[in-house]
Structure 1
Amino acid sequence: MIIDTHIHVWSYPALSDAKKHIRSTKDLVSFRSRCPDIYDRTLNEDPIDNSDQLIADMDEFNIDKAFVQARPGSVTNDQVALSVKKYPERLFGLMRIGHDQEAAYEYLEDPAPIRDSAPEQIAYCIEELGMIGLGEIFIRAMTAEVDPEKIAKDLVPMMDAVNQYKVPIQFPTAWSQFPGGLFYGHPVWADEVAARYPDVPIILTKMGRSLITYFEPCMAVGMRNENVYFDIVGTNGEHLRQALDLLGSERIMFGSDWSATWSCVRDPAPLYAMRLQILEDANCNSEERENILWRNATRLFKINDDKE
């Protein structure tokens, strides 16, 4: 079995021909600056469901189940829930907060309204929409602080609610294709959050994205906090092997970062082939593969028996 724990669903009409502009990871990273007219259109268009394409890609590469969350921009948690309802045996929903700002060219000057509304949003998404955790939270939407202790204090409303439900939460590391917020991709601040909420599974996505500057603090935070986990999005075989030897395979999960844009990547290989190759490059044994590909996700997100 393979469970993809990191997918962004829904798209925009402007991205219908994105494959013409995106072939490699390098193309994707620079897409916003190379194609500003197309990118700007996504900020004003109504989102469209692309879950049919996702399922087709999952079928092609033998991905059994997936955890889906909103693409940055105007995609709502309710829309993500519609995709899950469409494919209830394959998809599970993760909620997001403040991701509309992630796609915009600047964040709100005052993040207080977003962080203060987080508990209500979390309750709604878990109790009403049946979501099983929080997807990537770009914390710049909730804080403008730079001191890790002050950042942790600003995240208290959200983290208290997450702690109440005991569900996992994802925080991204390293770079993204979207503007702003790069400072918070350095995960050292997450050490303060993890220490304050030891019962909350905290997933640092992308494991530093193959960059030593981000990978080493990921490992430092992971060593200090047993409740910190990682996914393999964008990492490489060398870093995955180091993480396995340092932390063990029980704290690492498979993820692709599939989205309307990432699904266009096909050089040097299709996205799923690239992500799965990382396990080969790291020389994972059978137990490590099973843990990464599905067992850890099943345990951490407490997937119901009827969906296993």
Structure 2
Amino acid sequence: MNIVHFHDSENNKHDLVGGKGHNLINLHCNEFNVPKGFVVSTKAFFDFISENDIKEKILEIVEKTDKEDHEKIEKASQEIKSLILNGKSKEQLQKEITGALKNLQGSKFAVRSSSQAEDLESASFAGQQDTYLNVSKEAIEKNIMNCWASLFTSRAIFYREQQGIKHDVGIAVVVQEMIDADFAGVMFTLDPIEKKHILIEVTAGLGEKLVSGQVTPNTYFLHKETFAIEKKNENERFDEAFLEKIGKIGLEIEKHYGNPQDIEFAIKDGEIHILQARPITT
């Protein structure tokens, strides 16, 4: 199965759709407000590297590389990414992706990596693979291949090595309707320091710069029971009326999964969209 739609709970298997895809399908099927989308499965990736006869080459490059030498890891990464980006996907996969896109609205999309190794309770793998925003239909296939290649960035290779994760893991790719956010943010349903708090960080526009640490957000600490703002640090105007709504959604997701969550969200025209949820890891 190359394509798994967000409504397809039966095929929502971690090994098939990766960590991010698994969580998004789960949230969508449990009626949380997730942007519509589908997942290009790990099967599509494994078929691609087999059809292009590069699977063994990739593993050979990784295995012979000194994982303690960052320059050598980077060199290996570039070699592997070149093998993937110069490969060709089958026409059947291209047709299935085109068909799946017809179920989505808009002209721009988010294309997001979803590794089998990410969003685990023991290791989040957050930020190790790539995300592409505002992607046109014409550029979807190219960016899917970019996501596949990002399984072998130098930082991903190094992280897997540190975590004891094998390098023959698969990667899926999430394709979603693009939310042109007015505000975006990250929420931790359990503040690691003050356990009674929900920690919410918000910034204007898209959230990628916030997640990557490129901007300083507004920061709010909400009491988990009353949702009262107990501490805050503001850099720009934000309607604090949204904070209680965001906090309540966060606790619903925490209850759904049964453990504290690291949640990414976007706000557009007053509507809160959940972009990602994963267990908080230390």
| TM value normalised by structure 1 | 0.27
Greater C-alpha Rg: 2
Q: Which has the higher helix share?
A: 1
Q: Which has the higher strand share?
A: 2
